[in-house]
Amino acid sequence: MQDDLTLDAPQTDPATEAARLAKLRPADIVDILNDRDVEEAALPLPYLPLDTLIEIFDQPELIFAEVLILKLPEDLAARILSRMSFDRATDIFHEMPEDDATRMLRRLEPEARSAIEDLLAYPPNTAGALMTTEFVSVPADWTAAQTLDHIRKVERTRETIYAIFVCDPHKRTLLRAVSLRRLITADPAANILTVARDATPVTAPPTMDREDVARLITKHDLLAIPVVNRAYQVLGIVTVDDIVDAIIAEGTEDVQKFGGVTASEDPYMQIGFGQMLYKRAGWLGILFLGEMLTASAMQHFSDELEKAVVLTLFIPLIMSSGGNSGSQATSLLIRALALGDVKLRDWWRIALRELPTGLTLGAFLGVIGVARIALWQVSGFYDYGEHWMLVAITVGAALIGVVGFGSLIGSMLPFVLKAVGFDPASASAPFVATFVDVAGLVIYFSVALILLRGTLL
Amino acid sequence: MQDDLTLDAPQTDPATEAARLAKLRPADIVDILNDRDVEEAALPLPYLPLDTLIEIFDQPELIFAEVLILKLPEDLAARILSRMSFDRATDIFHEMPEDDATRMLRRLEPEARSAIEDLLAYPPNTAGALMTTEFVSVPADWTAAQTLDHIRKVERTRETIYAIFVCDPHKRTLLRAVSLRRLITADPAANILTVARDATPVTAPPTMDREDVARLITKHDLLAIPVVNRAYQVLGIVTVDDIVDAIIAEGTEDVQKFGGVTASEDPYMQIGFGQMLYKRAGWLGILFLGEMLTASAMQHFSDELEKAVVLTLFIPLIMSSGGNSGSQATSLLIRALALGDVKLRDWWRIALRELPTGLTLGAFLGVIGVARIALWQVSGFYDYGEHWMLVAITVGAALIGVVGFGSLIGSMLPFVLKAVGFDPASASAPFVATFVDVAGLVIYFSVALILLRGTLL
């Protein structure tokens, strides 16, 4: 909307620039800061009003928030971290070097410090780590009017007031969730429990993975989901905007892993040269070692290769077709598993679908392949030798086998990974291709040995 | 949460079963219906209360909603479609056969009919198609108390009441957005404009792509974004839960396209055998035709192949390394472009980063490759002939060239696609691999011709 409002060149005077920035929306200030290097971005910050600073650091889109905050005077940094939302402050502490984190934690206001220390204890990317403790809860013996009064009082210190949690006044266990929507249309004198929908609230344990939390929130169209302990007491809430960020991050992770890159959430331009090499060299090296088996397979068939060099012409074609069909099957099943369309126990149903699909697709490519060889031979473009027809049939038959095998392996790999506790999305296209390449060579030469024995071989 | 509550086997008596279903949460009923075939799923529906039916059909997760609704008595179907949210009803009409849609539209209640007809005019996956017209707007001369009273009255017929739009009383143009949060904590006698935040609301035009709408909502942490025409009048709103569904759908599309499959939103198990073949055969066939160029390239070098069969042993290894590095680069840049981390005009910066990255990665693999050949030769595992050292150097040098080329092409392809108006995510891993395979062969044999002339060649 405001693309023309970019302040690309930082002003010479940080105070003047801060005054200009303060007039923009927090998200737009974040965009501007993200476009600069950290040193420059930090300059105008101390001159911004505290409320604006809190809003800026509350944006998960701010890159290097953990570096920027440490460049501010420590007093100011402590005030920002104490008053911003606890879940986002926890994220920032997660990214900080441990020394700095310990020092800053000690300077926080007591309430913030204890809340953030609790949140830091949960593993990253779980409901516990995503949640905020700034939610509204009221005892079950209150009326609608009492609840509404309470909300008006605490509104400024709560991340959301659209979901209100009604708890047992003594045991503090969760009984019902009420939306602000129902509350404002309710009879003010009514007991809050009668205002609530007559259903147990959907909840998440603190250890639940962010992907599953996202699925629950989406499935039930919630604005916030309560995170409860085993005693069913509310520890915090995860709001829908936290989940949107989580879903986008998962999407990036899925595509990157599928591409064979170690996933990370840093924007492309912020990844240094060394880090970029590190992110890619690991997988590339492992795949290379795997792919070396193709050289071993070829060496194994080197006698056949010497006798029938014509066979080598089609090696890339056959191998890549297997890899492509495998990559198709993998991409379909990674998402089907991620979205819950398909369950682990369905693996045999998928195998029974993928094998015929793959064989049919292989036959389709086989026909094209045979036609291509025949066409070149008959029209005189190239001479595949006196046994060209047998060579063509070998290529066609190998394609059926390799593409069928590719679809089967490509579809089963995400299941195998999930079964042994990995993310199914770790089944990358290059990984599947490598697997299928080695097997594809063996299939191709085996078919050749059967069909060409006594003629070419 | 309720995994043990599955009603796998449908009851013999649809009315009894409807009574059991009615006790569950709408999202859980949808899960149960989705697990059945359409005929069975339709049986208990006419016995459910109208409110429950509306809630069920309001869930975007319900598969084949357009088939199910047509299996109900037409009176009932018209009542559901008239009273459910207009944006979701529009989705259902989009999926229906045209005859049925025309017939059903005529039976809707007049207000619903005109709203849905308007929404049907927008192209799918745009803000216009996603939006609902059921939002709250008030004239700028009202007080906070008047606004709150109005909301209490219209609450039941609005998709969300958490965002309230304040419009000019005469020109009906959008002036401000107020959150319910601010409204309930405001002085009741205050003018609604003074309650609003002093900033122009973030808006979207009806033609904006759902991906961009999602980006705006996430960036500004909105619960709903107003869709405005050129006169700045509000046509409708897109809410955050519509956007979550859109983001998940985009994620699926990105992974499927990257895997080389024609993207679709149908769950894996619901795609028929023929449709599955269709979804995959197209791309697989195109890739196969492209990959045929490898056979042509090989034919071109067939004299060299005859002379130096040892070179063929490393063809799969070199080709696949190029494809893998290309696939890594593509996956990184598809997401970077999708998230807006990188802009189209940055292409040369990326090229200047990817080429050295690729050459370095290629050198890393080259060293491993040379070591592998030397090790096998020296330890007597395999004999690569008297010029084995030259062969090893050829493989190493080709790897630098092929991996460098792969990274460059893999990173530039999403830019080329975006520049000519395609979705950058159409740059699939198989597509990149095919491209790099052909070039990789040419690079390999060219390096061989230079290094091995006079010895092997």
Q: Which CATH number do you get for residue A364?
A: 1.10.357.20
Is A341–B294 a contact, with Cβ atoms under 8 angstroms apart? no
The amino acid that residue B86 corresponds to is: F
Is A258–B331 a contact, with Cβ atoms under 8 angstroms apart? yes
Whose tokens are 């905007």? That residue is: A241
A259 chain-B contacts, CB cut-off 8 A: 258, 327-328, 330-332, 429
Q: Say whether residue A140 is in contact with chain B using an 8 A CB cutoff.
A: no
| A174-179 β-sheet, strand order | A136-139, A163-167, A174-179
Q: Which of A316, A403, A433 sits opposite B294 (nearest CB)?
A: A316
- Are both B427 and B318 inside the same structural domain? yes
Q: Is A191 exposed, middle or buried (0-12, 13-18, 19+ CB in 10 A)?
A: middle
Cα–Cα distance measured from residue A163 to residue A136, given in angstroms and rounded to the nearest whole number: 7
Task: Read off φ and ψ for residue A58, nearest 5 degrees.
Answer: -75, -15
Is A247–B243 a contact, with Cβ atoms under 8 angstroms apart? no
Cα–Cα distance measured from residue A303 to residue B14, given in angstroms and rounded to the nearest whole number: 70
Task: Tell me the shortest Cα–Cα distance from A73 to chain B, in angstroms.
Answer: 28
For residue B260, tell me if it sits in a domain: no
Task: Tell me the shortest Cα–Cα distance from B106 to chain A, in angstroms.
Answer: 30
**What helix, strand, coil percent values describe chain B, rounded to 5?**
65, 5, 25
pTM for the predicted model, two decimal places: 0.74
Q: What angle do CA A336, A339, A340 make, to 5 degrees?
A: 80
Write down the ipTM of this complex: 0.73
Is A27–B261 a contact, with Cβ atoms under 8 angstroms apart? no
Residue burial B305-342, b: 16+ Cβ < 10 Å; e: rest: beebbbbbbbbbbbbbbbbbbbbbbbbbbbbbbbbebb
pLDDT recorded at residue A208: 93
Range of the domain at A184: 136-248
Cα–Cα distance measured from residue B263 to residue B49, given in angstroms and rounded to the nearest whole number: 36
Is A269–B342 a contact, with Cβ atoms under 8 angstroms apart? yes
Q: Say whether residue B185 is in contact with chain A using an 8 A CB cutoff.
A: yes
For residue A258, tell me if it sits in a domain: no
- Are both B408 and B373 inside the same structural domain? yes
Nearest residue in B to A184, CA atom: B152
Smallest Cα–Cα separation from A363: which of B450, B422, B285? B285
pLDDT recorded at residue A4: 41
Task: Read off φ and ψ for residue A63, nearest 5 degrees.
Answer: -80, 150
Task: Read off φ and ψ for residue A448, nearest 5 degrees.
Answer: -60, -45
- Are both B229 and B292 inside the same structural domain? no
Q: Is the dihedral of CA B359, B364, B365, B370 positive or negative?
A: positive
Nearest residue in B to A290, CA atom: B317
Q: Which of B121, B156, B176 is at the close of a domain? A: B121
Cα–Cα distance measured from residue A249 to residue A246, given in angstroms and rounded to the nearest whole number: 5
- Selected residues 250-309 of chain B with any CB under 8 Å from a CB in chain A: 250-252, 254-256, 258-261, 267-269, 273, 276-277, 280-281, 283-285, 287-289, 291-292, 294-295, 298-299, 302, 305-306, 309
Smallest Cα–Cα separation from A246: which of A81, A103, A131? A131
- Are both B233 and B323 inside the same structural domain? no
List helix spans (H) across A121-165. 127-130, 144-154
Show pLDDT as tens, one digit a residue, over chain A (457 residues).
444 444 445 446 888 889 899 888 888 899 899 888 888 899 999 999 999 999 999 888 888 899 999 999 999 999 999 999 888 899 899 888 989 999 999 999 998 998 888 889 898 889 998 898 889 999 999 999 999 999 998 888 888 888 999 999 888 899 999 999 899 999 999 999 999 887 889 999 999 988 889 888 888 888 899 999 988 999 999 998 888 878 888 888 888 888 888 777 777 877 888 888 888 888 888 888 888 888 888 888 888 888 888 888 899 999 999 999 999 999 889 888 887 788 888 899 999 999 999 999 999 999 999 999 999 999 988 888 888 999 999 999 999 999 999 999 999 999 998 888 888 877 788 888 888 998 999 999 999 999 988 887 7
Tokens of B264: 């679709």
Tokens of B200: 């122009």
- Selected residues 84-123 of chain B with any CB under 8 Å from a CB in chain A: none
B186 chain-A contacts, CB cut-off 8 A: none
* pLDDT surpassing 90 at residue B380: no
What are the Cα distances from residue B356, in Å, to A143, B245, B348? 67, 39, 13
Instruction: Pick the residue of B154, B314, B320, B434 with the most A CBs within 10 A to test the interface with A by mutation.
Output: B320
B320 chain-A contacts, CB cut-off 8 A: 287, 291, 294, 319, 323, 430, 433-434, 437
Rg (CA), chain B: 30
For residue B254, tell me if it sits in a domain: no
| pLDDT single digits (tens) B125-179 | 899 988 988 899 999 999 999 999 999 988 888 888 889 999 998 888 999 999 9
Q: Say whether residue A349 is in contact with chain B using an 8 A CB cutoff.
A: yes
pLDDT recorded at residue B12: 67
- Are both A98 and A175 inside the same structural domain? no
Q: Which of B250, B287, B356 sits opposite A324 (nearest CB)?
A: B287
- Are both A280 and A142 inside the same structural domain? no
List helix spans (H) across A4-85. 14-21, 26-34, 38-42, 50-58, 65-70, 74-83
Q: Whats the size of chain B, residue-wise?
A: 457
Q: Is A235 helix (H, G, I), strand (E, B) or coil?
A: strand
Q: Which of B284, B314, B339 sits opposite A295 (nearest CB)?
A: B314
**Residues forming a β-bridge with A179:** A163
A341 chain-B contacts, CB cut-off 8 A: 267-269
Instruction: Pick the residue of B280, B296, B423, B442 with the most A CBs within 10 A to test the interface with A by mutation.
Output: B280
Is B273–A353 a contact, with Cβ atoms under 8 angstroms apart? yes
**Residues forming a β-bridge with B195:** none
The mean per-residue pLDDT over the stretch B113-120 comes to 89
**Mean pLDDT for chain B?**
88
B132 chain-A contacts, CB cut-off 8 A: none
- Selected residues 44-83 of chain B with any CB under 8 Å from a CB in chain A: 59, 61
Q: Say whether residue B388 is in contact with chain A using an 8 A CB cutoff.
A: no
For residue A27, tell me if it sits in a domain: yes
Nearest residue in B to A148, CA atom: B184
- Are both A217 and A174 inside the same structural domain? yes
CA-CA-CA-CA dihedral for A120, A125, A129, A133, to nearest 10:
160
- Are both B320 and B419 inside the same structural domain? yes
- Are both B112 and B161 inside the same structural domain? no
Beta strands in A162-248 (DSSP E): 163-167, 174-179, 224-228, 234-239
For residue A257, tell me if it sits in a domain: no
Instruction: Pick the residue of B268, B278, B352, B423 with the most A CBs within 10 A to test the interface with A by mutation.
Output: B268
Task: Tell me the shortest Cα–Cα distance from B323 to chain A, in angstroms.
Answer: 8
Task: Tell me the shortest Cα–Cα distance from B269 to chain A, in angstroms.
Answer: 7
The amino acid that residue A407 corresponds to is: S
Identify the CATH number of the domain in which residue B83 sits.
1.25.60.10
Please answer whether residues A434 and A332 qualify as being in contact, where contact means their C-beta atoms are separated by less than 8 angstroms. Answer: no
Cα–Cα distance measured from residue B438 to residue B457, given in angstroms and rounded to the nearest whole number: 21
For residue A221, tell me if it sits in a domain: yes
**Residues forming a β-bridge with B143:** B191
Interface A-B: count of C-beta contacts within 8 A? 351
Task: Read off φ and ψ for residue A215, nearest 5 degrees.
Answer: -65, -45
Smallest Cα–Cα separation from B184: which of A85, A147, A132? A147
Is B255–A256 a contact, with Cβ atoms under 8 angstroms apart? no
- Are both B405 and B343 inside the same structural domain? yes
Is B323–A256 a contact, with Cβ atoms under 8 angstroms apart? no
- Are both A55 and A30 inside the same structural domain? yes
What is the residue-wise DSSP string for B159-172? S--SEEEEE-TTT-
For residue A126, tell me if it sits in a domain: no
Q: Which of B121, B154, B173 is at the close of a domain? A: B121
Tokens of B181: 């949060």
Nearest residue in B to A299, CA atom: B313
- Are both B218 and B277 inside the same structural domain? no
Q: Say whether residue B241 is in contact with chain A using an 8 A CB cutoff.
A: yes
Nearest residue in B to A286, CA atom: B365
Q: Which of A220, A240, A317 sits opposite B291 (nearest CB)?
A: A317
Q: Which of B190, B217, B248 is at the close of a domain? A: B248
Tokens of B378: 């020296």
B319 chain-A contacts, CB cut-off 8 A: 316, 319-320
A273 chain-B contacts, CB cut-off 8 A: 353, 356-357
Cα–Cα distance measured from residue B227 to residue B237, given in angstroms and rounded to the nearest whole number: 5
pLDDT recorded at residue A5: 44
Identify the CATH number of the domain in which residue B216 sits.
3.10.580.10
List helix spans (H) across B163-209. 180-184, 192-195
**Long-range contacts formed by A264-270: CB under 8 A, 24+ apart:** A266/A63, A267/A34, A267/A63, A267/B336, A267/B339, A267/B341, A267/B342, A268/B332, A268/B333, A268/B335, A268/B336, A268/B341, A268/B342, A268/B350, A269/B336, A269/B341, A269/B342, A269/B346, A269/B349, A270/A63, A270/A64
Task: Tell me the shortest Cα–Cα distance from A59 to chain B, in angstroms.
Answer: 8
- How many domains, in total, are found in chain B? 3
Is A320–B199 a contact, with Cβ atoms under 8 angstroms apart? no
Determine the longest span between alpha carbons in chain B, in angstroms.
Answer: 96
Smallest Cα–Cα separation from A126: which of A203, A205, A208, A60? A208
Determine the longest span between alpha carbons in chain A, in angstroms.
Answer: 96
Describe the crossing of helices A240-258 and A210-219 by its angle, rounded to 10 degrees.
Answer: 120
Task: Read off φ and ψ for residue A409, nearest 5 degrees.
Answer: -65, -45
B380 chain-A contacts, CB cut-off 8 A: none
Cα–Cα distance measured from residue B108 to residue B106, given in angstroms and rounded to the nearest whole number: 6
Smallest Cα–Cα separation from A83: which of A152, A133, A157, A153? A157
For residue B130, tell me if it sits in a domain: no
Q: Which of B61, B268, B285 sits opposite A332 (nearest CB)?
A: B268
Whose tokens are 């008959």? That residue is: A378
